[in-house]
Amino acid sequence: MIAIFGLGNPGREYEMTRHNVGFMVVDEIAKKLEIDFKPGKGDYLISPGKYKGSEFLLVKPLTYMNNSGIAVKDVVERFKLDLKDVFVICDDLNLPLGVIRLRQKGSDGGHNGLYSVIYHLKTTDFPRLRCGIGNPEKMRNMVDFVLSRFDEDEIDKLNEMIGQAVEATFCFISDGILTAMNRFNKKVKPKDKTP
Active centre residues (catalytic) = 19
Please measure the distance between the N-terminal and C-terminal CA atoms of the chain and give it in whole angstroms.
51
Q: How far apart are CA 102 and CA 71, in angstroms?
A: 22
Other beta carbons within 10 angstroms of residue 114's beta carbon come to 24
Angle at 67 between CA 136 and CA 70, to 5 degrees: 145
- Answer yes or no: are the C-beta atoms of 28 and 159 closer than 8 Å: no
Longest dimension (CA), the chain: 55
Angle between helices 21-33 and 155-175 (to 10 degrees): 60
Among residues 19, 5, 18, 29, the alpha carbon closest in space to that of 164 is found at 29
Q: How far apart are CA 87 and CA 112, in angstroms?
A: 16
Buried residues in 53-79 as b, exposed as e (16+ CB within 10 A): eeebbbbbbbbbbebbbbbbbbbbeee
